[in-house]
A and B are shown apart, each in its own frame.
Chain A
Amino acid sequence: MAKLSTELVNLLGNYGHIGFTFVAAIFVGLGGGIYLDEKVFDGRTSPWFTFIGLAFGIAAGFKSLFDILRTPAAKSDDKDTEG
């Protein structure tokens, strides 16, 4: 039981934040795009920077997913389960 709960806490710690990280990246990208459209270019370029920002945000979200898989904590966790 103790070992199981330690493993559970470890897994939750390493991978439980995937959802938030992904969503945060998309929102930052989208927010940046909207800011460029509305504030910097006064709506003249609307909606193009919004779309570009959204695309970059989604790309950043996937990039942060790969980053989570490459963190040292996740790697050492893999080694433990294999051998």
Chain B
Amino acid sequence: MEHPILFISIILEKLGLPIPHGPVGNTFLEKLCEPYMTYTWFVMIFLVVVGKLTLSNVEMIPGKGQNFWELVIGGMNDFFNDNMGKELTDKLFPMIATFALYIAVANLIGLIPGFMSPTSSINTTLALTVIVWVTHHIIGFRAHGVGYIKHFLGPIPILIPLMFPIELISNIARLLSLSIRLFGNIMAKETLLGILFMLAGAYFAPLPIMLLGVLVSVVQAMVFVLLTVVYFGQANEHAH
């Protein structure tokens, strides 16, 4: 496939760092210089710098930047409160809000030529998903102790041999579906945009896909966060 022009990779190459020519590097330094890693750092730096610039002096009467963040963070806080309760929200808000902002920015950044979405690599999405999956089991064990296993046994005692494998499979399927959904949607968007740029970029052919790309990026970020919140809420509540 045509290699896309990624400006961070070009800068790093000029600096003399090894850029892997396949999807995965061989040495440790090559692994660190893979495009999805460098763009992950780019998104992290972007979020930190923007947060620092807009929130350096928090005031009673909010300015433009502070107003925006109050809207975003307040909206997310209400949404989490509705779906998983106040106690869990207070404990886990920083983690899920970070995921939301990171995934949204990482998805949208791929729409700009010269950038790529870090979430279009399965490594990134699988890492996020494993964190969420492990955390929701930890929440379950902390809330119910050994009784957490009741979540997997279904409502009727006689049906336990039938329900236990089903619940186990559908729980492991969360790991698969959560990571592959985000990865697949964003990778499809990136690949389609790349191909359309290559074929008819001069005639603005990628524009309609870019419009859809904005919708897909926002919806996928929202789906990931919604499912995270729902899983945390389900692990915390009592078994049916």
Contact = CB atoms under 8 A, between A and B. Distances in A.
A32 B170 CA distance: 12
B165 A56 contact: yes
B166 interface: yes
Contact of A9 (B82, B176, B222): B222
Given A28-B169, A60-B167, 19 more contacts: A9-B222, A12-B219, A13-B219, A16-B219, A16-B223, A21-B173, A21-B174, A23-B177, A24-B180, A25-B170, A32-B169, A57-B169, A60-B170, A60-B173, A61-B170, A63-B167, A71-B230, A73-B226, A73-B230
A72 B173 contact: no
**In the complex, which of the residues A12, A28, A63 has the most CB atoms of chain B within 10 Å of its own CB atom?**
A28
Given A9-B218, A9-B219, A73-B230, A17 B166 contact: no
Contacts of A21: 173-174, 177
A73 to B, nearest CB: 6
Interface residues of A, number: 27
B215 to A, nearest CB: 8
Interface in A20-51: 20-21, 23-25, 27-29, 32
A56 B223 contact: no
Interface residues of B, number: 25
Contacts of A16: 219, 223
B11 interface: no
Contact of B173 (A9, A12, A14, A28): A28
A20 B181 contact: yes
A17 B230 contact: no
B172 interface: yes
A10 B226 CA distance: 10
A17 B227 contact: yes
A76 B222 contact: no
Contacts of A13: 219, 222-223, 226
Contacts of A60: 165-167, 169-170, 173
23 contacts: A9-B218, A12-B223, A13-B219, A17-B223, A17-B227, A20-B177, A20-B184, A24-B176, A24-B177, A25-B169, A25-B177, A29-B169, A60-B165, A60-B169, A60-B170, A63-B166, A63-B167, A64-B170, A64-B173, A67-B170, A71-B230, A72-B233, A73-B230
A76 B82 contact: yes
Contacts of B222: 9, 13
Nearest to A15: B223
B83 interface: yes
Contacts of A73: 83, 226, 229-230
B51 to A, nearest CB: 24
B121 to A, nearest CB: 18
A80 B223 CA distance: 19
B173 A25 contact: yes
Contacts of B176: 24, 27-28
